[in-house]
Amino acid sequence: MTGLVMAALERHVVVAVRDGLHARPATQFVQLAKRFTATLEVERGGQRANARSAVKLMLLGIKERDEILLRAEGEDAAEALDQLAAFIATPEAGQEAPPRAGA
């Protein structure tokens, strides 16, 4: 069906990732975000960042216990929000290197 307009989905999430989104968890978050075709953004304190840019995410200064807004728009937006919110809500996220492909 063409001409179908999809509304952006939003979800407020409290960051449980220990030490916030520093380099390793930000990189893992981006790797997860890149699995989806939806347009994905993260907002903190009125500032937005593309969820596919680790540098831009780190510039938001997201710390443990911060409340952030995840925004997704597109065909797989709901699934993207579910998985990204679950990542953010996991204290252990980013503590270890992600498993390598084929491992």
CATH of the domain at 25: 3.30.1340.10
Residues carrying an active site annotation:
22
13 part of a folded domain = no
- C-alpha 87/C-alpha 33 separation (Å) is 10
Range of the domain at 25: 20-88
Residue 85: predicted pLDDT: 98
38 part of a folded domain = yes
Q: What is the pLDDT of residues 37-57, one digit of tens each?
A: 999 999 999 999 999 999 999
The domain tally of the chain equals: 1
52 part of a folded domain = yes
Residue 95: predicted pLDDT: 74
pTM for the full predicted model: 0.85
Q: What is the pLDDT of residues 59-68, one digit of tens each?
A: 999 999 999 9
100 part of a folded domain = no
28 part of a folded domain = yes
Q: What is the pLDDT of residues 62-95, one digit of tens each?
A: 999 999 999 999 999 999 999 999 999 998 887 7
CA 60 to each of CA 3, 18, 20, 50, 64: distance values in angstroms, whole numbers, following the listed order: 34, 16, 11, 11, 13
11 part of a folded domain = no
